[in-house]
Amino acid sequence: MSGADLSRADLCHANLLNASLVHADLTNAYLISADWIGADLTGATLTGAKLHAVSRLGIKTEGMTCKWVDLSPNGDHSQIYWLNSGGTQEFFHSSLPTVRIVIDAPLDQGAHFALAATYYQITQQYPSLSQPPTIEVSSRRTVLAFKMDSDDKLFATAYVSIIPFNDAATTQKNLIALMKMMQSHDAGNLNVKESKHVQQCSKSLNQAISKVDQIKISNSFPKIGESINFFQIPTQMVLINSRGQKLSVYHHPAFGKRLIKKYDPNNTTAAKLVESTKLAQTTLSNVLDFIKGFHNIDV
């Protein structure tokens, strides 16, 4: 629908997933409860659009023209939000917050079954992970991507999603260390809204830690992965916020080197060094910049 005249169009509850709306005219359009994640509104006009219950993440808005939008539930102009110069960059963010786990091996059928069964059991006690990851498989690697609707859920989702893998304990330690780093240094470096994000991330992470402890002691939690080599393979984890900024959490020292030297899961010497070496590379400024890129839901 690039270039289409959709001014005043009734698109309430419409499926606009990944729609191309480049240079489209959506002036005063009714978009209440529309699903348009992944839509490209580059150069589009959105002034006066009714946007109640519409995602503001995962939307491309470069060059968009939008002076104000109507956020009222009925589109009756009772909740007008004015966008100042450059305001679209704050109101909309182009990415969905994502936790990426990269496994240094292709996914086979046995591992796929075990992965699905394990995540199914996890979601029985941690429903926030109920949305399955997207899975990309190449001849050398597997990428699991957990997408969510809030930046504040990134650390908690990362903590839980790594559970099936041998690298879980070290990755989880790194996540806790990063959180402590933010909590101990955020005063004076972050504004009120950014500090609120740190507090919310910490709260969500603590809830996840509590849930994971319950999962570990549950007799119903399967141990399928222990006998499958896929879960012992080196991994790396990256968090991506709604601005597309990346934060490296973990990178196994043997990742990408399996064809050079056979990986021995029993040799944990290098793994023990990962937390200190990796976090040393992730500076406080990197972490704080990552938090500053979070979407402010109350904007």
DSSP reduced 3-state for 86: coil
pLDDT > 90 in the chain, percent: 50
DSSP reduced 3-state for 7: coil
Is the pTM value of this prediction over 0.85? no
> What are the structural domains of the chain?
1-94 (2.160.20.80), 98-292 (no CATH)
101-110, 146-155, 257-266: range with lowest mean pLDDT: 257-266
Residue the block writes with tokens 């029993």: 266
- The band of 282, judged by pLDDT with boundaries at 50, 70 and 90, is low
* 236 pLDDT higher than 90: yes
Contacts of 186 (CB under 8 A, 6+ apart): 194, 195, 198, 288, 291
Under 8 Å between Cβ of 61 and 88: yes
pLDDT single digits (tens) 16-72:
999 999 999 999 999 999 999 889 999 999 999 999 988 888 888 888 899 988 989
pLDDT single digits (tens) 152-195:
999 999 999 999 999 999 999 999 999 988 887 765 677 888 88
- Mean pLDDT across 133-148: 95
